[in-house]
Chain A
Amino acid sequence: MANDPIQFTLNGKSVTLQTDPARLLLWVLRTDLELTGTKYGCGMGECGACTVLVDGQATRSCLTDLAAVRGKRVTTIEGLAEDGRPHPLQEAFDEHGGYQCGYCTSGMIMNAAGLLHAHPHPSRREIVEGMEGNLCRCGAHQRIVAAIESAATGTGRQP
């Protein structure tokens, strides 16, 4: 069962893993790499709690095997802050109360980051459409949309 090592960039640092390339990114992140901010909610792409960025694109890590990220850039919630400064989305979620229990929050923020990467100035409608596949049972939706809007327009609180 000798596998070729798998190399990718994780939160700006190169990692190389010697493991089965069919393993799912979600569990490799959460167990081998001990990055637990990425959550399991459904395991079938239905909730978005496991969302990470792969080359800037919002990706369900519960459906992504390790082979698929070979040589790519993977960003998790832990790697979103830059130079120790929280990402504007993180600031805006905190400021607007875009979370309650917080369990969906990493996935919401990462999905929104992918959205803003693709459309830096989305309309409210584009935000709603872009977030449609992310579930929040606590009902923080209204504030999540407000947070994304403010992060996109730069009206979120700046430090």
Chain B
Amino acid sequence: MTDLVRPTPAPTGMDRRDFVKTLGGGVLVLVALPSIGVEPAAAQRRQYPTDVNAYLHIAQDGKVTLFSGKIEMGQGVETSLAQMAAEELGAPLSSFTVVMGDTASCPWDAGTWGSMTTRFFGPAVRAAAAQARLILTDLAAERLGVPRSALAVEDGVVYVARDRARHVSYGELARGQRITHTVDQKAVLRTARQFTVMGTSPKRLDGHEKVTGRAKYAGDIRRPGMLYARIVRPPAHGATPKSLDTSAAAAMPGVTVVNHDGLVAVLAADPETAAKALDAVKAEWNVPDPTVNAQTIYAHLVSAAPHGETVDAAGDLAAGRAAAAKTFDTTYYNAYVAHAPIEPHTSVADVRDGKATVWASTQSPFGTQPQVARALGIAPENVRVITPFVGGGFGGKSAGQQSVEAARLSQAVGKPVMVAWTRAEEFFYDTYRPAAVVKVASAVDGAGRITLWDYSVYAAGSRGSNVLYDIPNRRIRAFGQQSDTRGTESYHPFATGPWRAPGANTNRFAAEQQMDVMAAAAGVDPIEFRLRNTKDPRMLRVLRAAAEAYGWRPRAFPARTGHGRGVAFGEDVGTYVVHIADVTVDRSTGAVKVDRVVCAQDMGIVVNPDGAKMQTEGAITMGLGYALSEGLRFDGGDIKDANFDTYRFTRFSWVPPIEVVLVKNDDDPPQGGGEPGVINMGAVIANAIFDAIGARIYYLPMTPERVLEALRAT
């Protein structure tokens, strides 16, 4: 059974039809699903399939296999997707096996990012499972000779409601049949009141494998005759080769050298020999003079970012200024931040007979497929990408560079090849969260109401810049998008890309500090100030829930006692989220310790409450890093951080008690869960620091040096 979960041992070239055959007889049902509206970024040409069989297979013994083009990188979606399918199908969760991210057997998917699994793939799964239940019940009605309305489904068995001795199981209905049965009716999804599987927190399906070390990641794949590759890398982005001498490496026993179209690699039967061979390669490079560094980058971004797009505008900015009692002009900055998943990018490729099988650590198996095909000069349908468990992604495993490298090398040597990036390569080729600048001009009137909001974000994109407060005169402009993987071709010195809630961390850091700046100047408690400036019922509810969970009592800010508390609000991927944090600031060292975080979240219907909390705790914990310590060191295209000794992020001693409150909202469908928890972390800590010391930090990360600097300036 586990073979199906991670179909790594399956023979190469097995297509979906063979796969279904090997599973035994199944139900073939055809339904039309409503087309799924997805966000423009992900709304590529393709859509989720309309055939229920693309998602579900019910075997003779009643075992259900759920197919998903999504991947599992820690979000727990293997479990939550199975819960959704189990709920609608009426089969027990224990009968489910989930196959994820295998291009040969799973329905197409753009990629696992943007908290879209539950929001967009979830409805497709639910609709398919509900339709399958309807069809199976219809078949049961024929079999049992009663009308459909006389039947009830329980744990994969269809019963005559008034005579439970008469029943037939899903497995029996499916057995040995290829049914092209349709029901001329669209199944109705179950409501939150009816849920028995959704809305509960069963143990995760991936737990056992992960605590026993049995879970397979791309680097754990072994193929007969496989070689381990190490690739010659430039010392800096933008460097060009001057000279290359691989003769010493080539002379080493068991070492193969490949030099093909700019890809220079050494390969050996074990990774240590490959590493030694790489050491023996002599390469010289022309390294361009750096034009920007960590100090000059901000001025550069403001001048180099493309023309601004107006994202939102209303009222009259001049009128807003005129109505103001106080006006505030502030600029906020944040550094480049690494994804730094503990599993570096890894792929194994086996290219033979014009076909390729790639086991990839990727968030986008269906995006990797055509990339590999193009690189090899073969058709995409001849490339199968299999995604084992992914050891963290956070947006950083959206591209397929390592898969292309492995595939090209496998093609060149005619053997399976593993490319497993070292930590240094992981840092070098990361698609960083972009450094960014936000300029805000805002104003309040004498009653503490916001009259003006003129907001410009440079290089981060507009996500998270939406104003959910009632501000009559406003303008939001975004100069440049968050993602620019062109590396040195772009206005960044290296590639940037999506990082957990891309753009939102930058934008909330600026917007929610600005709210606090105004609240403090107006002499209004920061939660009261936010309540006063919105009528949005969801925001009001979440703010109040957070205040209550924390035990918030209004008082004057800043307290300047060395201990501070802050609040920040945001909306991301349909979820409303409020964080409240306590900090202690050491005035002599500038060190900030976060003592407590309370987070309230309205995420619509919650599929798996404990899973949602786990994700939110994780996001908060990760957010401590970008708030306090993470900022890439670089000089032009020369990435100075190569490992965790200099690039520091959240450790055990940094993590405060975290309380997550889920605000009940069964009126809205499930919203995003993996990202919202991270977006307010900069602002909430900055606001708490202000309360503690009376000084504001406008830069992320808020390092001890910056805290000391801010203290000196007050």
CB distance from B200 to the nearest CB of A (A): 14
The interface bits of chain B over 338-360 (1 if a CB of A lies within 8 angstroms of the residue's CB, else 0) are 00111110000000000000000
Contact B74 A34 (CB under 8 A): no
Interface: B586 (CB within 8 A): no
Give Cα distance in the complex from A154 to B651, angstroms: 25
Q: What are the nearest 4 A-B pairs in CB distance?
A: A37-B213, A139-B621, A103-B391, A101-B74
Give Cα distance in the complex from A136 to B625, angstroms: 12
Contact A132 B341 (CB under 8 A): no
Q: List B contacts of A59 (CB < 8 A).
A: none
Q: Using CB atoms, name the residue of chain B closest to A141.
A: B655
Q: Using CB atoms, name the residue of chain A closest to B651.
A: A132
Stretch among B130-138, B215-223, B324-332 lining the A interface:
B215-223
Contact A49 B342 (CB under 8 A): yes
Residues A36 and B219 in contact in the complex (CB < 8 Å), given A100-B614, A103-B343, A138-B622: yes
Residues A44 and B203 in contact in the complex (CB < 8 Å), given A90-B212, A135-B649: no
Known: A27-B272, A105-B211, A135-B342. 7 other contacts (CB 8 A): A42-B643, A78-B212, A100-B75, A101-B392, A129-B652, A139-B618, A139-B655
CB distance from A23 to the nearest CB of B (A): 6
Interface: B13 (CB within 8 A): no
Interface: B158 (CB within 8 A): no
Q: Out of B74, B343, B615, which one reaches A41, CB within 8 Å?
A: B343
CB distance from B216 to the nearest CB of A (A): 7
The interface bits of chain A over 145-157 (1 if a CB of B lies within 8 angstroms of the residue's CB, else 0) are 1000000000000
Contact B650 A103 (CB under 8 A): no
Q: List B contacts of A35 (CB < 8 A).
A: 213
Interface: B260 (CB within 8 A): no
Q: Out of A40, A49, A100, which one reaches B74, CB within 8 Å?
A: A100
B contact patch SS = loop
- Contact residues of A between 11 and 40, Cβ < 8 Å to B: 23-24, 27, 30-32, 34-40
Interface: B152 (CB within 8 A): no
Q: List B contacts of A127 (CB < 8 A).
A: 652
Interface: B420 (CB within 8 A): yes
Q: Out of B210, B340, B645, which one reaches A102, CB within 8 Å?
A: B210
Q: List A contacts of B650 (CB < 8 A).
A: 139, 141
A residues apposed to B, CB below 8 Å? 23-24, 27, 30-32, 34-44, 46-47, 49, 76-78, 81, 86, 90-91, 93-95, 97-106, 109, 127-129, 131-132, 134-145
Q: Out of A34, A77, A95, A101, which one reaches B341, CB within 8 Å?
A: A101
Contact B214 A37 (CB under 8 A): yes
Q: Out of B204, B213, B652, which one reaches A128, CB within 8 Å?
A: B652
Q: Using CB atoms, name the residue of chain A closest to B212.
A: A90
CB distance from A39 to the nearest CB of B (A): 7
The interface bits of chain B over 261-279 (1 if a CB of A lies within 8 angstroms of the residue's CB, else 0) are 0000000001110000000
Contact B621 A142 (CB under 8 A): yes
Q: List A contacts of B645 (CB < 8 A).
A: 44, 46
Q: List A contacts of B214 (CB < 8 A).
A: 37, 78
Residues A101 and B652 in contact in the complex (CB < 8 Å), given A138-B74, A142-B621: no
Interface: B699 (CB within 8 A): no
Give Cα distance in the complex from A31 to B271, angstroms: 8
CB distance from B664 to the nearest CB of A (A): 22
Contact B213 A140 (CB under 8 A): no
Contact B219 A44 (CB under 8 A): no
**Central interface residue in B210, B215, B220, B619, by most chain A CB within 10 Å:** B210
Give Cα distance in the complex from A137 to B619, angstroms: 10
Contact A101 B211 (CB under 8 A): no
Interface: B51 (CB within 8 A): no
Contact B211 A40 (CB under 8 A): no
The 24 sampled A-B contact pairs (Cβ below 8 Å) are A27-B272, A30-B220, A36-B216, A38-B213, A39-B219, A41-B342, A43-B643, A86-B211, A93-B211, A94-B203, A97-B207, A99-B210, A99-B211, A100-B392, A101-B341, A102-B74, A102-B209, A102-B391, A103-B217, A105-B210, A131-B652, A139-B617, A142-B657, A142-B658
CB distance from A159 to the nearest CB of B (A): 13
Give Cα distance in the complex from A90 to B217, angstroms: 19
Give Cα distance in the complex from A79 to B493, angstroms: 46
How many contacts A-B (CB < 8 Å)? 169
Contact A76 B213 (CB under 8 A): yes
Interface: B73 (CB within 8 A): yes
B residues apposed to A, CB below 8 Å? 73-76, 203-204, 206-217, 219-220, 222, 270-272, 340-344, 389-394, 420, 422-423, 610, 614-615, 617-622, 643-645, 649-653, 655, 657-658
Residues A99 and B217 in contact in the complex (CB < 8 Å), given A42-B644, A142-B655: no
Contact A46 B619 (CB under 8 A): no
Q: List B contacts of A27 (CB < 8 A).
A: 270-272
Give Cα distance in the complex from A31 to B644, angstroms: 25
Contact A24 B653 (CB under 8 A): no
Give Cα distance in the complex from A113 to B658, angstroms: 25
Q: Using CB atoms, name the residue of chain B closest to A130.
A: B652
Q: List B contacts of A142 (CB < 8 A).
A: 617, 621, 655, 657-658
**Central interface residue in B204, B213, B341, B643, by most chain A CB within 10 Å:** B213
Q: List B contacts of A41 (CB < 8 A).
A: 342-344, 423
Give Cα distance in the complex from A125 to B215, angstroms: 30
Q: List B contacts of A30 (CB < 8 A).
A: 219-220
Give Cα distance in the complex from A46 to B647, angstroms: 10
Give Cα distance in the complex from A97 to B203, angstroms: 8
Residues A77 and B212 in contact in the complex (CB < 8 Å), given A24-B272, A42-B423, A94-B203: yes
Q: Out of B220, B389, B610, which one reaches A101, CB within 8 Å?
A: B389
Give Cα distance in the complex from A94 to B394, angstroms: 23
Residues A94 and B213 in contact in the complex (CB < 8 Å), given A40-B219, A137-B394: no
Q: List B contacts of A104 (CB < 8 A).
A: 342, 391
Q: Out of B211, B220, B389, B649, which one reaches A137, CB within 8 Å?
A: B649
Contact A139 B389 (CB under 8 A): no
Contact A34 B342 (CB under 8 A): no
Give Cα distance in the complex from A77 to B121, angstroms: 34
Give Cα distance in the complex from A134 to B621, angstroms: 14
Contact B652 A145 (CB under 8 A): yes
Q: List A contacts of B653 (CB < 8 A).
A: 128-129, 132
**Central interface residue in A41, A103, A136, A141, by most chain B CB within 10 Å:** A103
Give Cα distance in the complex from A93 to B211, angstroms: 7
CB distance from A38 to the nearest CB of B (A): 7
Give Cα distance in the complex from A27 to B344, angstroms: 16
Give Cα distance in the complex from A78 to B420, angstroms: 22
Give Cα distance in the complex from A134 to B527, angstroms: 37
Contact A37 B212 (CB under 8 A): yes
**Central interface residue in A24, A27, A100, A143, by most chain B CB within 10 Å:** A100
Give Cα distance in the complex from A78 to B215, angstroms: 11
Residues A101 and B655 in contact in the complex (CB < 8 Å), given A44-B643, A94-B203, A137-B622: no
Q: Out of B75, B219, B422, B617, which one reaches A143, CB within 8 Å?
A: B617
